[in-house]
Structure 1
Amino acid sequence: MSALKRVQQWATFARIWHVYDAKWQNPFQSSLLLKKYLMGMHKPIYHPMNDCGDHVIVINSKEIALPGDEWKKRVYFHHTGYPGGATWTLAWELHSKDPTMVIKKAVYNSMDGNLQRRYTMQRLHIFPDENVPEELMKNVSNQIRGIKPVPKRLDHYSEQEVKEFPKIIDYPKDYVLR
């Protein structure tokens, strides 16, 4: 085998490190996207019995956004294995205890039927904020685009941007707001 082919084969099977910003993203939609990278489904050499997935670093997991009333209505089940060890925890309670757990459970459940999902989950690195160890960030070579764009808050616009924004209507000087 020539040296060029060896390098090409090495690059094909190498594990790439990706970073994903979960700020204001739905964890259930994000989990379907992250699953593709963790299992290697984005690679042309993918096969269900082939372990060719990549590493994914998820940042800002404490700022995820659940749709509608999901914070109050979604329940997570846990059983210790002992009699009477069943517990049901609401999503907001679980998120306040551990801000990485909601997205971790979403990714784990999205890989249902995958026989190697316990080993695949070891390549998922979740952090509640942007503080990631330097030795992990050195490996990152790709950024996964978020599903929805993060809107800019109104209090983050400068005074000049607010003044330069085009007006639809100018209210008369004697107009009274009720």
Structure 2
Amino acid sequence: MKTFLAKKETVQPKWYLIDAKGVPLGRLAVKAANIIRGRHKPSYTPSVDTGDFVVVINAEKVVLTGRKEEQNEYMFFSGFVGGESYRKVSLMREKHPEFIIERAVKGMLPKNRIAAKMLTKLRVFAGEKHTHEAGNPQKISV
């Protein structure tokens, strides 16, 4: 029996919708990363992008357990000497809630060129409304 390897041309991506309201960030990120990579499919091939599109709504209502809201910080670097700055999760939730989920999913993807393309399949929205109704996203629970 030969090993089946998926090809980029034969992949038919689907759209999935995840509601982040009341869901822990880690569980949401694992589910989204596995769908984006295509690990939920029997035709999964690590070297080929076989994943599907993921739309996440209600990003501002994702839950962080413990004291992560006050303790965790995101580091940014301007590229200049002394240009390192830190921002708390609570501040990022107020100003840019999509960033929290995008960064969590990015950390769960492999660190290579394919992952950069896979990350473009993630669409995160702060509120209930999204702009991808044309893809007929199938709602899944986390």
Scaled by the length of structure 1, the TM-score of the pair is: 0.71
Alpha-carbon distance in 2 for matches of 1:109, 1:141: 24
Q: Secondary structure at the match of 1:113?
A: coil
Alpha-carbon distance in 1 for matches of 2:72, 2:138: 32
1:139 aligns with 2:132: no
Corresponding residue for 1:33? 31
- Bigger Rg over Cα: 1
Stretches of structure 1 that go unaligned for 5 or more consecutive residues are 1-8, 147-178
**Runs (4+) off by over 4 Å:** none
Aligned length: 134
Matches within 5 A, 1:1-178: 13-133=11-131, 136-146=132-142
Q: Deviations over 1:24-62 (max 9, x none)?
A: 111122111111100111111111101111100000001
Letter of the aligned partner of 1:119 in structure 2?
Answer: K
Alpha-carbon distance in 2 for matches of 1:140, 1:32: 22
RCO higher in structure (CA 8 A, sep ≥6):
2
Alpha-carbon distance in 1 for matches of 2:83, 2:26: 27
What's the offset of the Cα at 1:113? 3.1
What's the offset of the Cα at 1:115? 3.7
Deviates more, 1:109-118 or 1:57-66: 109-118
What's the offset of the Cα at 1:120? 0.8
Stretches of structure 2 that go unaligned for 5 or more consecutive residues are 1-6
Letter of the aligned partner of 2:66 in structure 1?
Answer: G
Alpha-carbon distance in 2 for matches of 1:107, 1:26: 13
Q: Secondary structure at the match of 2:30?
A: helix
What's the offset of the Cα at 1:138? 2.1
Letter of the aligned partner of 1:46 in structure 2?
Answer: Y
Letter of the aligned partner of 1:86 in structure 2?
Answer: E
What's the offset of the Cα at 1:112? 4.0
What's the offset of the Cα at 1:114? 4.4
